[in-house]
Structure 1
Amino acid sequence: MELITAYAGACAIGLVLGLMGGGGSILTVPLLVYVMGINPVLATGYSLFIVGFTAAFGGVQNFLKGNVAIKQGLLIAVPSFITVYCTRRYIVPSLPQIILDTKNVTLHKDTFIMALFAIIMLLAALSMLTKKETVQQPDTNKEKTSYVRILPYIILTGITMGLVGAGGGFLIIPMLVFFGGLSMKKAVGTSLLIIAVNSLTGFLGDLHNTTINWQFLLSFTAISIFGIFVGSYLHRYVNEKQLKKGFGVFILIMACFILSKEVFGY
């Protein structure tokens, strides 16, 4: 039963990536941890692989349709994938098993990672639920913000992605829209390729530190890839505004569940 639930979730991960250009890891990590019982550190590494390969297929689809901006994508992808790799290769393994130990509070590594992941989910949910819809302008390929000013944000995004195993689509898309001057359609397509590069590079950092169950990981990823093709097909038929609101409510509930379980023990 757990395996059936996990594979159904794998398909849902692909659907979300195909429909929205991000959000796959928001489903992946809780599914691996709470349904499959996988250690959070290993789950975040698996998430990078699953989301990375799934996003790659979606990114290629968008590239063939002309919905990928190579220049803007590389400006964000290069510094972020270096940061993600370094985070997975050096920072995550060096984190102590007990992050904080006081008379009143003991914070374990696994709890820290899942709590941080829940906070990222809360931010993503609030972004989806509160962001006002605007009329999209045509592509201008004009920088909206100085690259030097946005570089620290890119690096911080990479560190966050590395720590929690997230693809970071909800962080990357605003950068492409406001820094790169892209339309939402091109921002979504470009974000998929950036997510793929970042996630798979981050996973390479894990190969030095963990033992991988390749049979499970590859079968899970294959189902997720199938889901992204279905999601890309359905994208033209769904109401994007309602989809974002509904998904925002869902991940808000998931974030509260993770925080209550990890922090308060409920």
Structure 2
Amino acid sequence: MSLTLVLTLLLSVLIGISLGLLGGGGSILTVPILTYVAGMNPKEAIAASLFVVGATSAVSVVTHARKKRVKWRTGLIFGAAGMVGAFGGGLLGGRIPATVLMIAFALMMVATSLAMIRGRKDHTPEAQENDLPVFKVTIEGLVVGLVTGLVGAGGGFLVVPALALLGGLPMPVAVGTSLLVIAMKSFAGLGGYLTTISLDWALVGGVTVAAILGSFIGARLAGRIPEAALRKGFGYFVLAMGVFVLVQELPAPANLILGFSAAGIGVLAVLCGFLIPGCPLRRASGTSTAKHATAEHTATEAR
């Protein structure tokens, strides 16, 4: 077994941990690992990531479901609509230059990371108990499916914000539900790619097994981390990976300019969120912290 293969399999464990813990980030890790470590062609890496992430998500969603962290109706409707969009995106993605796909992939990551770092302005407790409206879920599913199928992502880095930020689901439930959606959309997107791409199934199978093992670790950690910290940590992680891919794919000096620009936005977000009074990020964080503190105080009084 070569050193490259061993390193690829070890890093693949992180794919599962990311999916089990965050409900996303699988393709954000899988595509760079298969491209820059395993040496796969970018289009093959994108197609392979759909299988790896889809299979890992399908296994991980079972663990989350046992802990009541999956909204089945919302997930199935979102996933069904996303499958339609993902298949179309997969068909189109197989005919677009690899570099264009990777740059689009990175830009989408940066935009999504900023939304996750900022968070929602309000939190509606009733959304935790009720499924989202069918029409809204269907439209969001089609759009997210098309985008994620096009850039070869399972969609967690878009599905989690869609469910948590737009839908109002609490982060642990958004994570669990997103895994159901990811599994459905990933296999649909893979079907589109396989019309033009062939894969090394032995390598893909090994990466998938390693990712599934990691997903058990991630699922056990999920729910033990405060919602605000989990959301912001996910956002900063996606931002870092987006900058990395931009630097790798863009020619000099554009890669350095855009890379430093994206990194600078992230630094400003951190400063705004934690140091500058009156900043929306600070208010969002403070509100979440205050709610958490109030809940703890109420629980203490009840005891």
Task: Name the counterpart of 2:95.
Answer: 94
Tell me: CA distance 1:60–1:27, structure 2 relative to 1, closer, same or farther (3 Å): same
Tell me: CA distance 1:134–1:18, structure 2 relative to 1, closer, same or farther (3 Å): farther
Q: Secondary structure at the match of 2:197?
A: coil
What do residues 127-169 of structure 1 show as CA deviations (whole Å, max 9, x unaligned)? 23222586672533154x672x564443221111111111212
Q: Note the C-alpha offset of 1:92.
A: 2.2
8 A contact 2:93–2:151 mirrored in 1: no
8 A contact 1:169–1:192 mirrored in 2: yes
8 A contact 1:140–1:181 mirrored in 2: no
Tell me: CA distance 1:122–1:189, structure 2 relative to 1, closer, same or farther (3 Å): same
Larger of the two Rg values belongs to structure: 2
C-alpha distance in structure 1 between counterparts of 2:234 and 2:131, whole Å:
31
C-alpha distance in structure 1 between counterparts of 2:237 and 2:169, whole Å:
28
Where in structure 1 are there 5+ consecutive unaligned residues? 96-108
Post-superposition, which runs of at least 4 consecutive aligned residues in structure 1 deviate over 6 A? Answer: none
Q: More relative contact order in 1 or in 2 (CA 8 Å, sep 6+)?
A: 1
C-alpha distance in structure 2 between counterparts of 1:68 and 1:250, whole Å:
24
Q: Note the C-alpha offset of 1:186.
A: 2.4
Q: Note the C-alpha offset of 1:12.
A: 0.5
Q: Secondary structure at the match of 1:208?
A: coil
Q: Secondary structure at the match of 2:129?
A: coil
Among 99, 105, 109, the residue aligned to 1:121: 109
C-alpha distance in structure 2 between counterparts of 1:58 and 1:248, whole Å:
21
Say whether 1:140 aligns with 2:140: no
Task: Name the counterpart of 2:59.
Answer: 57
Say whether 1:173 aligns with 2:160: yes
8 A contact 1:118–1:255 mirrored in 2: yes
Percent identical pairs in the alignment equals: 37
Among 65, 68, 73, the residue aligned to 1:66: 68
Residue range with higher mean Cα deviation, 63-72 or 211-220: 63-72
Alignment of 1:1-266 (within 5 A): 1-88=3-90, 90-95=91-96, 109-131=97-119, 137=125, 139-141=128-130, 143=132, 147=135, 151-177=138-164, 182-265=169-252
Task: Name the counterpart of 2:296.
Answer: none
Q: Note the C-alpha offset of 1:246.
A: 3.8
Corresponding letter in the other structure for 1:41? K
C-alpha distance in structure 1 between counterparts of 2:237 and 2:175, whole Å:
21
Tell me: CA distance 1:43–1:129, structure 2 relative to 1, closer, same or farther (3 Å): same
C-alpha distance in structure 2 between counterparts of 1:71 and 1:81, whole Å:
15
Q: Secondary structure at the match of 2:222?
A: helix
Where in structure 2 are there 5+ consecutive unaligned residues? 256-303
What do residues 16-36 of structure 1 show as CA deviations (whole Å, max 9, x unaligned)? 111111111111111111112
Tell me: CA distance 1:187–1:235, structure 2 relative to 1, closer, same or farther (3 Å): closer
Corresponding letter in the other structure for 1:91? L
Residue range with higher mean Cα deviation, 20-29 or 68-77: 68-77
Tell me: CA distance 1:237–1:177, structure 2 relative to 1, closer, same or farther (3 Å): closer
Task: Name the counterpart of 1:98.
Answer: none
C-alpha distance in structure 2 between counterparts of 1:194 and 1:76, whole Å:
6
Task: Name the counterpart of 1:101.
Answer: none
